[in-house]
Amino acid sequence: MALRVFGLNIVRSNRNLLKNAHKLSAPPSGYMAVAPFASEVTVQAAPAAVQKQKVSKAMRAYLKRANEHDEFMKTQHLEFQIGKRHLANMMGANAETFTQEDIDEAISYLFPSGLYDKKARPALKSPDVVFPARKAAEFDETGRPFHSMFYTGKPNFFQLLHDIVEETNKLADLEERLLRRGNKPDENQKLEMAGFQLLPKDQLELFLVESIADIEYSNFTKSMERLIASPYAYKSKSFIERFLKPLMDQSKQLEVPKPKIDEEGRQYITTYECLRKTARADVTVRFPGTGKISINGKDILYFEDENCKEQLLFPLQFSELLGKVDVEANVEGGGPSGQAGAIRWGIAMSLRSFVDQEMIESMRLAGLLTRDYRRRERKKFGQEGARRKYTWKKR
Amino acid sequence: MKMIRNRFGNLSRVSAQLQRHVQQMSTNAAAAPEEGAVINEFRTAVTNPGEHSALQVAKFYTIPAEQKKQIFAGGGLPKQYEQQIKTFTEACLMVRNPALELLQYIKATDLTKPVVRYVLYGENGTGKTLSMAHVLHYGALNDFLLVHVPWAPNWMKRPKEASNAAGQEGMIDLPFDAAAWLVHFKAQNSQLLQRLQLKTSKEYVWSKRESTPAGSSLIELVEHGIARIKYASETTAALIAELKQLSTAGQCKVMVAIDGFNAFFHPVTRIFSDNKQLVTPDRITLTQPFLDITNYDWTNGVCILSVDKIAMTEGHMDSHMPRYLLGQEGFEHLDPFVPVLVENYTDKEFHSYINYYLDRHWINKTPQGFEEQLKFMSNKNPYSLMQLVRAL
Amino acid sequence: MSFLSIIAGKTSKYSSLRLMSVYPTQYVEPIVQKDKQNEQKTELSKLYHVPIKAAVNKSSDTVFHDDTKEKMINYITKKGNSALARTLLSKTFELIKRTQTEHMNLAKGEKNAINTNAETLLKQAVENCRPLLQVTAIKRGGVTYQVPVPITTRRSYFLAMKWLLDAAREKERKVSLPEKLAWEILDAAHGQGRVVKRKDDLHRQCESNRAYAHYRWS
């Protein structure tokens, strides 16, 4: 939402900025944000001869709306720029190099909000992000649509499907030709699909500026998979890459903290904020140790449940450091199971520093290094519990 | 670690007369030397506790079946341990340091001096009762008269029947429990009593028609108590007074062993009086004689007591220390005493126990490193280890 | 089946339809046992970029854990009290071991032949009670027929364990569940007893109703 500072009518007092508004707005980052099919709605300059033609009422209304939206977006852009400059001024920073992150920081500093819903808190964002992208003019003043598939109602989507099929056919022809020559697809260049997934439905909708039904999305998925499965898919790499999304951020996995040295000369690592359900723990693992474990000062018999004790044993036994490290944990909150889970995660994360990369990967695959974010599901009205329904009585 | 089937190691068959400092196996079958070595790793052939020394720490010795029946028929070994004995078909005890310490003290006592009280204490499940059992076995083999209360809280918590005492006003009798204790006493000491021919010193009048004359043997006194349950508690009191006198006179040695002694000093019991009120332990006739005998006003004997967190648990017990569990009264009563700490297993003892379980086919799932895992999970606590190993 | 679940079933791992889970759909189940990880080494390299869910707090790779045991504990659990279920199952194992060691001590000949491993006995019992087919009620022309129908492995294991527990729960009040369950498991492991009989009855019923098998496809 563009920030109205001091209730001024900003357009009047800052007319000279109007021209620069366009150039100053920061280009939105990421290949997703730009909806290539949306652009500013512009009225095409019509040749003089056509101007005399009568424009229908519907057309006129449409043009009027388009104009209004244009104007509206221009004012919004202007306000955004002005707001940004004011903020930069307030923060004492350079207005030219004030990025979106700086804006967010400034607002959370100047206008702290205790509201739970992040979308309800004050924010200053570029109008392109705030207002959903609209399509460009789809037909000219005579009412003739530009896109050949306009009458499908979702021209961009179906154009996309056609493109996919075209690529697939191209690749099939290529394969046939190369087969006749006796060539095989190059194995080294094969598309790496391991860490990627296709664009989810909502992001595809953003991309196309159109809403799609579930069946249509599944059609898209199937055709894309067919394309990707083709042996020469690497030739259409640029086309396919537009629709791929990485699954996981690898960088965090590799940041293993270095152990520190304590007074006795032993290496140790402390993991803070180990959370599981409502339990909160911090765990220290010391390296040359004898397998001692202490939880809030007591030994492992702090937990009476055998299951909880087994959970503490699990990471140590998995990483084969069972009698070789000492563990000290402080835990509060939650119940026995939650506390045990918190300490288990803490131990696993701390052990990463004393173990080689292969073992870390092994631990990750065993699910030891993922923060278990599951919380208790709330009870819903009309049901007895979170999922349990009331007994169904026929009458 | 070889898991060799122990086909001939039923040491319970080795009679007590064969005890020597010999590290050889029984004569049942030809033992290959390596098998003999494995068995000796955690067993010892020395069945007389009097001969146990630091050499035998962490080793198992078997209690011969007849002796076990004689000493422990009325209790004294924990229930789960009894089950284990039944399954493993042998009564094996591990020689551990607290028991050895106690035995050393006992052997070195000057019996002409007043009685020394030893108090075994420790966390739950560390082996206090079994250490006491070890010492009891020694006492039985060395001509001590055993005054053994297997678990004092049983009288406070779950008496078979509580009735009003006939003689004393406001006191409560536990007839069946007293009678059961007398049976236990008789079973433990019948041989010794017959041999020593101990006589009562004064006459006991139970009612108008019944009395036990002075000079009758103790066995008769005991049998009277068993037969006439109504007077069982009074008989116990009488018996214990007699024993004190006799031992001070030098006619016999007495070993008093009471498990869960702090039950006598707990603020309440779980017994209701006639007006539906909870009774304190000092209003129970049975507490008096045992408090009496744990005084230091007699000689020629030894007193081994144990205090336990789980003895009486109305109000969760916070600490296992004797001063806390005994309270002001109990501490004053017992002061001065020798405390003996019973701790969790050492590494050697732990390893030995695992070997024993493997030998008896109790642990069947043995992937690599399972011992380490058990050590971690149980923190080398004997009771936890027993529980954990149930499911393996 | 709801529309969404049909789609969810048909979409592949490249797409991401939200299912009823806290984890986003990309997340994959963890492989907790080390031997299973070692078996599937080549496939695991594909998971390098895939996020993995956290391991459940009932599973672990220690000597105390076994898949069949875990399932059994889950089936014994009532009202979420799985700690109690776990103690009951360990008592059951204890009783099984006691019976078997007693037999072994009494046996004069082959002592090694008697199996004292309670876990393997449980697995064997479950294997012996597994049905190969099941009957479903199918209504054709106003008549409900009991039609034999194939069964998935998972369901067959579930049925085996459920029958064991049902048999164990039909007892007098004084007999405790661990005792009864131990007897049932031992019986089933040796191919005798009520549960194996129940499985055989089911097989017999399937055999006798072979004629109706075509009703599956009407």
Q: Would you say residue C53 lies in a domain? A: yes
A270-289 average pLDDT score: 91
pLDDT at C1: 40
Segment among A74-88, A319-333, B158-172, C158-172 with least mean pLDDT: B158-172
- Residue B327 CA to residue B322 CA, distance in Å, equals 8
Check: complex ipTM more than 0.85: no
Residues B122 and B233 both lie in one domain: yes
The residues pairing with B217 across neighbouring beta strands, listed in sequence order, are B199
Task: Name the closest residue on chain A to residue C37, using Cα atoms.
Answer: A362
Q: Would you say residue C28 lies in a domain? A: yes
Please count the structural domains in chain C. Answer: 1
Say yes or no to pLDDT of A1 above 50: no
Which residues of chain C are within 8 Å of residue A196 when distances are taken between CB atoms? 14, 49
pLDDT at A295: 93
Share of chain A above pLDDT 90, in %: 44
Segment among B11-15, B96-100, B372-376, C66-70 with least mean pLDDT: B11-15
Task: Name the closest residue on chain C to residue A197, using Cα atoms.
Answer: C14
- Residue B341 CA to residue B99 CA, distance in Å, equals 10
Using alpha carbons, list the distances in angstroms from residue B376 to A316, A353, B11, C78: 10, 22, 32, 30
Task: Name the closest residue on chain B to residue C122, using Cα atoms.
Answer: B391
- Residue B115 CA to residue B77 CA, distance in Å, equals 25
User: Could you tell me the pLDDT band of residue A8, with boundaries at 50, 70 and 90?
Assistant: very low
Residues B196 and B294 both lie in one domain: yes
Q: Would you say residue C39 lies in a domain? A: yes
How far from the centroid of its chain's Cα atoms is residue B132's Cα? Answer: 4
Segment A284-317, tens digit of pLDDT:
999 888 888 999 999 888 998 899 999 999 999 9
Nearest to C97 among B362, B374, B388 (CB): B362
- Residue C13 CA to residue A75 CA, distance in Å, equals 44
Say yes or no to pLDDT of B33 above 70: no
Segment B188-213, tens digit of pLDDT:
888 888 888 888 888 888 777 777 77
Residue B200, sorted as left (phi over 0), alpha (psi -120 to 50) or beta, turns out to be beta
CA of B178, closest CA in chain C: separation in Å?
Answer: 30
> Helix, strand or coil for residue A383?
strand
pLDDT at A45: 53
At a CB cut-off of 8 Å and minimum separation 6, what does B276 contact? none
Segment A91-148, tens digit of pLDDT:
998 888 889 999 999 999 999 998 989 889 999 999 988 898 888 778 877 778 889 9
Chain B adjacent subunits, 3+ CB pairs under 8 A? A, C
At a CB cut-off of 8 Å and minimum separation 6, what does A81 contact? A17, A20, A21, A24, A25
User: Could you tell me the pLDDT band of residue A44, with boundaries at 50, 70 and 90?
Assistant: low
pLDDT at A159: 95
Say yes or no to pLDDT of B126 above 60: yes
Q: Which DSSP string do the residues of B19-63 spell out, in sequence order?
A: --S-----SSSPPPHHHHHHHHHHB-S---GGG--GGGTT-EEEE
The residue from A247, A280, A309 where one domain ends is A247
Which residues of chain B are within 8 Å of residue C118 when distances are taken between CB atoms? 364, 391
CB contact under 8 A, B361 and C101: yes
Segment C33-87, tens digit of pLDDT:
888 888 888 787 778 888 889 999 898 888 888 899 999 999 999 999 999 999 9
Residues A118 and A172 both lie in one domain: no
Whether the Cβ atoms of residue B358 and residue B3 lie closer than 8 Å to each other: yes
User: Could you tell me the pLDDT band of residue B19, with boundaries at 50, 70 and 90?
Assistant: very low
Peptide bond into B336 cis (omega under 30): yes
CB contact under 8 A, C57 and A221: no
Q: Any chain C CB within 8 A of the CB of B197?
A: no
B207-235 average pLDDT score: 82
> Helix, strand or coil for residue B145?
strand
Q: Would you say residue C154 lies in a domain? A: no
Say yes or no to pLDDT of B37 above 80: no
pLDDT, greater one: B23 or B44: B44
What average pLDDT does the structure give for chain B? 81
Q: Would you say residue C1 lies in a domain? A: yes
- Residue C76 CA to residue C166 CA, distance in Å, equals 10
C80-95 average pLDDT score: 93
Nearest to C22 among A228, A367, A374 (CB): A374
Most B-contacting residue of C34, C60, C62, C63 (CB-CB within 10 A), to test interface: C63
Q: Any chain B CB within 8 A of the CB of C97?
A: yes
User: Could you tell me the pLDDT band of residue B93, with boundaries at 50, 70 and 90?
Assistant: confident
- Residue B125 CA to residue B107 CA, distance in Å, equals 27
Segment among A201-210, A337-346, C70-79, C107-116 with least mean pLDDT: C107-116
Say yes or no to pLDDT of B1 above 50: no
> Helix, strand or coil for residue A295?
strand
Say yes or no to pLDDT of B13 above 50: no
Segment B313-370, tens digit of pLDDT:
766 577 888 888 888 888 888 888 889 999 899 988 899 899 888 888 888 888 888 8
Using alpha carbons, list the distances in angstroms from residue A130 to A21, A77, A119, A196, A368: 17, 11, 11, 28, 39
State both tokens at A154.
């979702």
Segment A172-208, tens digit of pLDDT:
999 999 999 988 887 878 887 777 888 999 999 999 9
Q: Would you say residue A95 lies in a domain? A: yes
* Residue C55: closest CA among A350, A341, A335, A275: A341
Residues B187 and B292 both lie in one domain: yes
The residue from A247, A273, A294 where one domain ends is A247
Residues A124 and A34 both lie in one domain: yes
pLDDT at A205: 92
Whether the Cβ atoms of residue A329 and residue A346 lie closer than 8 Å to each other: yes
Residues A36 and A77 both lie in one domain: yes
Q: Would you say residue B10 lies in a domain? A: no
Nearest to A247 among C4, C29, C51 (CB): C51
Q: Any chain C CB within 8 A of the CB of B89?
A: yes
Q: Would you say residue B353 lies in a domain? A: yes
CA of B36, closest CA in chain A: separation in Å?
Answer: 31
Whether the Cβ atoms of residue A70 and residue A41 lie closer than 8 Å to each other: yes
CA of B293, closest CA in chain C: separation in Å?
Answer: 41
pLDDT at A250: 66
Which residues of chain C are within 8 Å of residue A368 when distances are taken between CB atoms? 54-55
Say yes or no to pLDDT of B55 above 50: yes
Residues B334 and B349 both lie in one domain: no
Please count the structural domains in chain B. Answer: 2
Which residues of chain B are within 8 Å of residue C96 when distances are taken between CB atoms? none
Task: Name the closest residue on chain C to residue B366, using Cα atoms.
Answer: C63
CA of A368, closest CA in chain C: separation in Å?
Answer: 6
Residues B264 and B353 both lie in one domain: no
Residues B266 and B300 both lie in one domain: yes
A321-348 average pLDDT score: 93
The residue from B341, B363, B382 where one domain ends is B341
User: Could you tell me the pLDDT band of residue B6, with boundaries at 50, 70 and 90?
Assistant: very low
Residues B126 and B156 both lie in one domain: yes
Which residues of chain A are within 8 Å of residue B381 when distances are taken between CB atoms? 301
- Residue A321 CA to residue B369 CA, distance in Å, equals 11
CB contact under 8 A, C94 and B390: yes
User: Could you tell me the pLDDT band of residue C27, with boundaries at 50, 70 and 90?
Assistant: confident
* Residue A374: closest CA among C123, B194, C27: C27
Residues A215 and A280 both lie in one domain: no
Residues B255 and B211 both lie in one domain: yes
Residues B204 and B291 both lie in one domain: yes
Q: Any chain C CB within 8 A of the CB of A248?
A: yes
Q: Please measure the distance between the N-terminal and C-terminal CA atoms of chain A and give it in whole angstroms.
A: 53
At A267, the amino acid letter reads: Q
Helices first, then strands: H and E counts in chain B: 14, 11
Q: Would you say residue C23 lies in a domain? A: yes
pLDDT at A10: 44
Q: Would you say residue C167 lies in a domain? A: no
Chain C adjacent subunits, 3+ CB pairs under 8 A? A, B
B92-100 average pLDDT score: 87
> Helix, strand or coil for residue A271?
strand
Say yes or no to pLDDT of C3 above 70: no
* Residue B150: closest CA among B261, B310, B255, B282: B261
Please count the structural domains in chain A. Answer: 3
Segment B294-319, tens digit of pLDDT:
888 888 888 999 888 888 776 657 78
C40: containing domain:
1-64
Dihedrals phi, psi of B258, to nearest 5 degrees: -125, 125
Segment among A192-196, A331-335, B241-245, B256-260 with least mean pLDDT: A192-196
DSSP structure class, residue A19: H
Q: Would you say residue C81 lies in a domain? A: no
CB contact under 8 A, B372 and A322: yes
Q: Would you say residue B389 lies in a domain? A: yes
Residues A239 and A272 both lie in one domain: no
pLDDT at A351: 92
A179: containing domain:
150-247
pLDDT at B243: 87
CB contact under 8 A, C102 and B83: no
Residues B266 and B358 both lie in one domain: no
B362: containing domain:
344-392
Residues B137 and B235 both lie in one domain: yes
Residues B351 and B267 both lie in one domain: no
- Residue C192 CA to residue B161 CA, distance in Å, equals 46
Q: Would you say residue B104 lies in a domain? A: yes
Say yes or no to pLDDT of C195 above 60: yes
* Residue A343: closest CA among A305, A300, A302, A312: A312
Chain A adjacent subunits, 3+ CB pairs under 8 A? B, C
